[in-house]
Structure formats: structure tokens, C-alpha cells
Amino acid sequence: MSKIEVFAGSEFSGEYHYLSESKEHIFNYLQDNPVSLVMPYTPKSYVSYVDFIPVFDQFMPEGWLYRVLRDMLAKRFEVFEEFDIFKTLAPAVEGFLTFKVEEKTTSPKSPKPIFRLSEVLKDDFSGIFQELVRAFLTASPLGGVQPKVLAEFEDDEKGALRTKKFVVKAFGKQFFLLTENERLSLLACVKAGLEVPRFWLSQHGRLFVIERFDLGESPFGFEEFASLFWKTRERKYDGSYEAVAKALRKISANPEKDLERFFKLLVMNFLLKNGDAHLKNFGVLYSYPYANDVRLAPVYDVVCTWIYDPTDQPALTMFGRKVWFSRSKLEEFGRLACGFSAKRVRELFEDCLTAAEDLLIKVRTLKKNRPEWKKLYDRFETILEFSLGANLKNTVKELPHELRGPWKEDTRKTSKTWFNPGSPGL
């Protein structure tokens, strides 16, 4: 049996156990200090068979990071399980939830090298990402499938050096310039009036860096909607945008404000054609000890997935379907699911249209100034023109064939695994 001690807001809460023989994940409260909005204190055990208990599953890596950690453990042990990956990452988790694992060795840990944010952004051709992975691999409990690592940098802010945490993302050949894709997508979200953490693109576009938004003087509680709906990462595409809106109305300290932000983000995802807006890519923040200030988390992980697969669909359902709805249907969602007047829905939608139009102008300019990235900008331009034109009037399933051009060859090569897809919870 493996055991991990769990702390919430630096106060002890209980113990997480894994029984290898029966594949049971068990959490027992030993003190009235809740670890999740959907896991109130109880003397009874929280039990999950095979899968992690969702609030802990959000610390499990996916994709590239998962494979790297799996291969590392395979070299160390003849037999290991997914729980061993969590156990490897748990001691380094920083935030509202922290963990203590029984150490099998007393050998001192080697100090991590010191990195400066400015140096990382400038020196992205030197193998710096590999250095970051070596330094911070076992301290990177990150979801998502692209190559990424949670790193610690010295950040020269307002003349004072402060050590902060940043997520550093790279990309492979299959998803070319995903870094620039995310930068442009988040710039559009900022233009639409959405809250976005600080972010940077490295000098040659090889790295995208974004600051963690849940760490302050005191860490905020952060929970993904997958966890709130009692779903693990395997079920992150199992849900609806209506359910997210309903949950926000129930738990938010300021539901009208949060629903406005959520509606704007949803419209931006549709205009940008982000087919990866699943339950792990929306979350809430709150203070400890569970003050009445639950609010929608800042925007993160927004990209245009159509650039790589023009047949990609929305990650969750709306009106029971996974299609790219027209403006009239999106505005209907704003009225029915978010409870806004027709006038307010139009105002919010216009903010998003202005942001998308601004991005289209920006993309056309970049295409002239950075011809080496023309392939990305060409596709982004086509997609935005379609979103701001035909798709506003008509609901569609995919980008029309006549607009794809060179996409056709790439689509046959693209793996769908990057996008595809009775419990407590909200």
C-alpha cells in the first residue's frame, strides 16, 4: 500500500492511499480541512476504483510529459503503476494543495540551476528547453499533451528580482509554431477584455512562456471543471458548455460577471476555432479557508486547432451537438444558458468580433513581416475570414474543402489523439 499525506492551504487534511492489488484509490480525512469544493469533510472514505480521485487526477501529466516520466520510471523499476508517477511528482507540487511522501532515502537533493526569464526567452536555440526539462521534470504536474515543463525563473519585475513559476511550452513537427498560435490566440482574448496571465514568446518562436496564476502571497485554490464534475482526464471531453455555465451560476461569488467572462471565452473559442476547450481547460480559483470568493480562473490553453486539422470539432457539446454554431445560436446560448438579455448578449458578442477582426489585421501584417512563418499565418487568415464571414451566418461541422488548399495533405498525416477524445461533484 502506498500513502501520501495531503495538505490544503498548508494545513494537514488527510491521507491518500493506493491499494495496488485491488486498484483502489482512497482518501481519508483526518482533519476537517476540505481539499476540494466537491469533497466536504466526512469520516467516510472517498474511494475510486482504477481511476484517480478527480481532484488528485488534475496533477497527473498527459501526452509528452507523461511519456517522459513513464520512460524514466521504467528504467528505475521493473514494475510500476500510474500512481508511481503521481508519487514522483507529488513532493514538488506547489499551490493550495501540497503533499508529503515518505522518503526512502536521506541523500541530499542537488540544488536546481538558476534560470533568468530574459535569458530563456533570448536563447531558445541553445537547447534551453532540454535543460529546463532535466532540471524541473519531476516538479511538473501539468496536464495537456504538448511538450511543456513547469519551471522556476528569476523574473526582473520593476527593478526587483523575484523567483516565480512559469509554464514553458514547446512544439513538435506535427503542430508547427503552436507557440505563436497560442500567443496570437491569447492576444485576441486580451483584446476581448478577458483576464489572461502574463505570457511571452521567445525570440525565435521555439518557446511559449506563461506565468502561473494560482500562486500569490498565499496560493489560491484552483480546480478544473473536470475535477468539479468528478471526471478524470480520460473523460475531459465528456460534458457540455451548458453544464459549465450552470455550475458557475451555482458556485461563483459573482455569477453574472463570471458568466459574462465565460460567454466571451466561449465565443472566442468558436471564432478562433479552438477544438480543445474541454473540461480541463476551464477552472475556478478561490481563497483559503474557502472564503466566498469562488471565481472563474483566467484564460489558459487557447489555440486554433483548425490550423492542424480543419475537421476538428468543439471539445464539448452545445445544444447536444459538437458543431461550430452560427452567431444566432451562440447568442441563444448566451440568453438561455447564461441568462443575459438579448441586448447584453449582442454587446458581449461585439467585443469578441472586434477582437477577432483585430487579430485578422495583425495576422495579415505578420504574414508580410515574417515570411518564414507564412504557412501558419496563411491558415490563420483563412480560418478567421471564414469565422467572421460564412460561419457567422451558418452552423458548420468543418472548414469547407475548397478553402483548405495545402491542408488536405497534412490532414491525412495528423493524429486525432491530440484533440479527441453516478459520482459526486457539481
Per the model's pLDDT, the better-predicted residue between 259 and 218 turns out to be: 259
How does the average pLDDT of the chain come out, rounded?
89
Q: Are 265 and 319 in contact (CB under 8 A)?
A: no
pLDDT of residue 417: 36
CATH number assigned to the domain with residue range 115-211, chosen from the 4 options 3.30.200, 3.40.50, 3.20.14, 1.20.1070: 3.30.200
d(C-alpha 245, C-alpha 106), whole Å? 48
The residues of the chain that CATH labels 3.30.200 are 115-211
Q: What's the alpha-carbon Rg for the chain, to the nearest Å?
A: 22
pLDDT band at 14 (very low <50, low <70, confident <90, very high): very high
Cell numbers representing residue 337 in the block: 444558458
d(C-alpha 353, C-alpha 344), whole Å? 14
Closest CA to 264 of 336, 320, 318, 344: 344
Q: What is the mean pLDDT of residues 291-307?
A: 94
d(C-alpha 220, C-alpha 297), whole Å? 10
The share of the chain scoring above pLDDT 90, in percent, equals 69
Fold that domain 232-418 belongs to in CATH:
1.10.1070
Lowest mean pLDDT among 5-19, 284-298, 389-403: 284-298
- Each as own residue / partner, the long-range contacts of residues 360-368 (CB below 8 Å, 24 or more positions apart, any chain) are 360/384, 360/385, 360/388, 362/184, 362/187, 363/184
User: Is the per-residue pLDDT at 423 higher than 60?
Assistant: no
User: Is the per-residue pLDDT at 414 higher than 90?
Assistant: no
Residue given cell 491558415 in the structure block: 379
Strand partners, 396: 324
Q: Where are the beta strands (DSSP E) in 176-241?
A: 199-201, 208-211, 221-224
Q: Are 365 and 298 in contact (CB under 8 A)?
A: no
- What burial letters (b/e) apply to 61-78, b meaning 16+ CB within 10 Å? bbbbbbebbeeebeeeee
Q: Are 233 and 60 in contact (CB under 8 A)?
A: yes
- Each as own residue / partner, the long-range contacts of residues 79-83 (CB below 8 Å, 24 or more positions apart, any chain) are 81/18, 81/20, 82/52, 83/2, 83/18, 83/20, 83/25, 83/52
CA 142 to chain centre: 9
pLDDT band at 110 (very low <50, low <70, confident <90, very high): low
The residues of the chain that CATH labels 1.10.1070.20 are 232-418
Q: What is the mean pLDDT of residues 240-247?
A: 98
Region class of 144: left (phi > 0), else alpha (psi between -120 and 50), else beta: left
pLDDT of residue 142: 78
Q: What is the mean pLDDT of residues 69-91?
A: 84
